[in-house]
């Protein structure tokens, strides 16, 4: 078939591909331990599920305004005030079918062909694909392990040209879990103001922050920075609602109107029932979030303590999200379990799956060769076996 150039050149999501491969092996009877997908293993909290049932039973089963019901937009505004002391209005908000769709819409609404978008690496797999799909050019800015995976202003400046339209930030980060220091966020914001570029701040993990770490919404960094900032968020990660597909964009009302126009021709409204469930998530009791975070914290501490015991593995401590992103490059060229020798992270993950039946995602997918990502959003028993197997695999 003759596909459009945009789709023909589109790469499938590497995380979804890794998870699919692991699931296929599992389905064929192989005992695979998988740590590939970025989603909480918890079921959506009960009061949120109840709100969805109530919405269905009371007939909230029709089209809604394309950009979401006003009650949900108000709930997003109230949550911004409660969580960040941030005052925004419903006209600053549009609701879409998950945060990925929100990002897609911002890029589609804003990019002209050839516009450059700065993306600090390691970056979430979909960013570069979404930029290309919208006709833009992803420009990667390396943030090394030594720099704590935080991009320096010098490196950002070195990649900025007169075609640069925006910089995409993601703190806490997928895949590293790293949280940018607030000073760095402010400096990047000031740089954006100075260069007249936009900041697209993906804050989807902002509620999954471990004790001792801090994050803030980029819109709280002062009026000038806020005027050039677009924030992405959603219910997927914080409320274990990945399947409900609700994300949102906060930005200038002109941008919100443009995205509304786009969305009204493209998908119409996000699922009405999910919207009402999201209102319950945002305005209801928040202790479900701290309970889940408490569980993630135990799993994080366990995973990191196990990784510390393995020689020649290094990582930057994740302050948020639910990923351990570690450097396995010292094992390249060495004999691993089954007499296997690898020289890159992609082959490492294939060999680990084949020899030890453990599924991780290669850092190559995140623009970080030499690293692998382990999602610890799974129970301690599964982590124990998986990490035992990893240690045996590396011991050769
Ligand atoms: C950094 C980041 N942004 C956005 C998303 C997308 O979230 P959603 O499931 O709401 O589309 C993800 C999901 O993995 C993510 O890791």
- From 102, 120, 171, 174, give the residue whose CB has the most ligand 1 atoms within 8 Å, as the site to mutate: 174
Task: Tell me how crowded residue 70 is: count the other CB atoms within 10 A of its CB.
Answer: 12
pLDDT at 325 over 90: yes
Q: Which domains does the chain have, with CATH numbers?
A: 5-43+288-395 (3.90.1150.10), 46-283 (3.40.640.10)
Interval 220-229 mean pLDDT: 97
Closest Cα partner for 73 from 207, 250, 209, 235? Answer: 250
Instruction: Render pLDDT for 360-392 as a digit per residue (tens, 0 to 9).
Output: 999 999 999 999 999 999 999 999 999 999 999
pLDDT at 207 over 80: yes
Mean pLDDT for the chain overall: 96
Instruction: Render pLDDT for 154-184 as a digit per residue (tens, 0 to 9).
Output: 999 999 999 999 999 999 999 999 999 999 9
8 Å CB contact between 276 and 54: yes
Interval 349-364 mean pLDDT: 95
Beta bridge partners of 200: 168, 230
* Amino acid 395: pLDDT: 95
Closest Cα partner for 278 from 132, 102, 68? Answer: 68
The larger pLDDT score, comparing residue 324 to residue 28, is at 324
Q: What tokens appear for 224 in the block?
A: 């000038």
Beta bridge partners of 375: 323
Task: Tell me how crowded residue 141 is: count the other CB atoms within 10 A of its CB.
Answer: 20
- Among 18-27, 162-171, 208-217, 312-321, the minimum mean pLDDT is found in 18-27
* Amino acid 161: pLDDT: 98
C-alpha 377/C-alpha 89 separation (Å) is 34
Closest Cα partner for 276 from 300, 238, 241, 325? Answer: 241
C-alpha 86/C-alpha 286 separation (Å) is 18
* Amino acid 385: pLDDT: 98
Taking the centre of ligand 1 as the mean of its atom positions, its distance from the CA of residue 200, in whole angstroms, is 14
Instruction: Render pLDDT for 76-90 as a digit per residue (tens, 0 to 9).
Output: 999 999 999 999 999
Q: Does residue 98 line the site of ligand 1, with CB under 6 A?
A: yes
Taking the centre of ligand 1 as the mean of its atom positions, its distance from the CA of residue 375, in whole angstroms, is 14
Instruction: Render pLDDT for 115-131 as a digit per residue (tens, 0 to 9).
Output: 999 999 999 989 999 99
C-alpha 143/C-alpha 152 separation (Å) is 7
Taking the centre of ligand 1 as the mean of its atom positions, its distance from the CA of residue 201, in whole angstroms, is 12
Residue having the nearest C-alpha atom to atom 14 of ligand 1: 38
Taking the centre of ligand 1 as the mean of its atom positions, its distance from the CA of residue 242, in whole angstroms, is 9
Q: Does residue 204 line the site of ligand 1, with CB under 6 A?
A: yes
- From 36, 123, 124, 179, give the residue whose CB has the most ligand 1 atoms within 8 Å, as the site to mutate: 124
Taking the centre of ligand 1 as the mean of its atom positions, its distance from the CA of residue 102, in whole angstroms, is 10
8 Å CB contact between 179 and 172: yes
* Amino acid 294: pLDDT: 98
* Amino acid 281: pLDDT: 98
Q: Token match 């997003």: residue?
A: 76
Instruction: Render pLDDT for 140-156 as a digit per residue (tens, 0 to 9).
Output: 999 999 999 999 999 99
* Amino acid 23: pLDDT: 85
Interval 216-234 mean pLDDT: 98
Task: Tell me the backbone φ, ψ of residue 139, rounded to 5 degrees.
Answer: -120, 115
Taking the centre of ligand 1 as the mean of its atom positions, its distance from the CA of residue 1, in whole angstroms, is 31
Q: Does residue 106 line the site of ligand 1, with CB under 6 A?
A: no
Interval 201-223 mean pLDDT: 97
Q: Which atom of ligand 1 is nearest to 15's Cα?
A: 14
End-to-end CA distance of the chain: 46
pLDDT at 13 over 80: no
Instruction: Render pLDDT for 18-57 as a digit per residue (tens, 0 to 9).
Output: 778 888 888 889 999 999 988 999 999 999 999 999 999 9
pLDDT-derived band at 15 (thresholds 50, 70, 90) equals confident
Q: Does residue 236 line the site of ligand 1, with CB under 6 A?
A: yes
Taking the centre of ligand 1 as the mean of its atom positions, its distance from the CA of residue 108, in whole angstroms, is 17
How, if at all, do strands 137-142 and 323-327 pair? Answer: unpaired
* Amino acid 307: pLDDT: 98
Cis upstream peptide for 299 (omega within 30°)? no
Q: Token match 């906060």: residue?
A: 250
pLDDT at 16 over 90: no
C-alpha 66/C-alpha 131 separation (Å) is 23
pLDDT at 12 over 80: no
User: What contacts 281, CB < 8 A, 6 or more positions away?
Assistant: 45, 48, 235, 238, 239, 241
Q: Does residue 38 line the site of ligand 1, with CB under 6 A?
A: yes
Closest Cα partner for 153 from 169, 138, 172? Answer: 169
Supply the DSSP string of 171-234, one letter for each residue: SS-TTT-----HHHHHHHHHHHHHHT-EEEEE-TTTT-B-TT-----GGGS-HHHHTTEEEEEE
pLDDT at 310 over 80: yes
Q: Token match 């800015």: residue?
A: 141
Instruction: Render pLDDT for 271-299 as a digit per residue (tens, 0 to 9).
Output: 999 999 999 999 999 999 999 999 999 99
C-alpha 107/C-alpha 102 separation (Å) is 9
Q: Does residue 40 line the site of ligand 1, with CB under 6 A?
A: no
Rounded to two decimals, the pTM is 0.97
317-327: b (≥16 Cβ within 10 Å) or e: ebbbbbbbbbb
């Amino acid at each position: 078939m003759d596909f459009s150039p945009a789709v023909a050149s589109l790469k499938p999501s590497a995380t979804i591909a890794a998870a699919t491969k692991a699931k296929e092996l599992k389905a064929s009877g192989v005992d695979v331990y998988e740590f590939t997908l970025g989603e909480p293993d918890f079921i959506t909290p009960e009061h949120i599920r109840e709100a969805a049932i109530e919405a269905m039973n009371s007939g909230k089963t029709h089209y809604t305004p394309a950009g979401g019901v006003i009650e949900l937009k108000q709930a997003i505004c109230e949550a911004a005030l409660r969580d960040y002391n941030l005052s925004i209005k419903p006209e600053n908000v549009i609701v879409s079918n998950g945060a990925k769709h929100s990002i897609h819409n911002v890029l589609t609404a804003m990019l002209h062909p050839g516009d450059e978008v700065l993306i600090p690496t390691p970056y979430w797999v979909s960013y570069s694909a979404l930029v290309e799909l919208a006709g833009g050019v992803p420009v990667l800015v390396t943030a090394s392990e030594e720099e704590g995976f935080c991009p320096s202003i010098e490196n950002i400046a070195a990649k900025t040209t007169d075609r640069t339209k925006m910089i995409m930030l993601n703190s806490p980060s997928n895949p590293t879990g790293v949280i940018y220091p607030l000073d760095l966020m402010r400096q990047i914001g000031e740089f954006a103001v100075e260069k007249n570029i936009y900041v697209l701040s993906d804050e989807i993990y902002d509620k999954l922050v471990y004790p001792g770490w801090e994050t803030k919404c980029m819109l709280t960094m002062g009026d000038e920075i806020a005027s050039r900032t677009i924030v992405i968020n959603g219910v997927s990660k914080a409320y274990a609602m990945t399947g409900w597909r609700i994300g949102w964009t906060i930005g200038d009302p002109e941008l919100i109107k443009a995205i509304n126009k786009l969305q009204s021709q493209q998908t119409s409204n996000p699922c009405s029932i999910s919207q009402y469930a999201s209102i319950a998530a945002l305005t209801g009791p928040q202790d479900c979030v701290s309970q889940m975070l408490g569980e993630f914290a135990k799993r994080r501490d366990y995973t990191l303590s196990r990784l510390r015991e393995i020689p020649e593995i290094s990582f930057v401590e994740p302050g948020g999200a639910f990923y351990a992103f570690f450097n396995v490059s010292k094992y390249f060229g060495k004999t691993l379990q089954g007499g296997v020798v690898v020289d890159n992270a992609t082959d490492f993950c294939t060999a680990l799956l084949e020899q030890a039946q453990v599924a991780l995602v290669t850092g190559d997918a995140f623009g970080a060769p030499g690293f692998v990502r382990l999602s610890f959003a799974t129970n301690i028993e599964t982590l124990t076996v998986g990490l035992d197997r990893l240690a045996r695999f590396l011991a050769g």
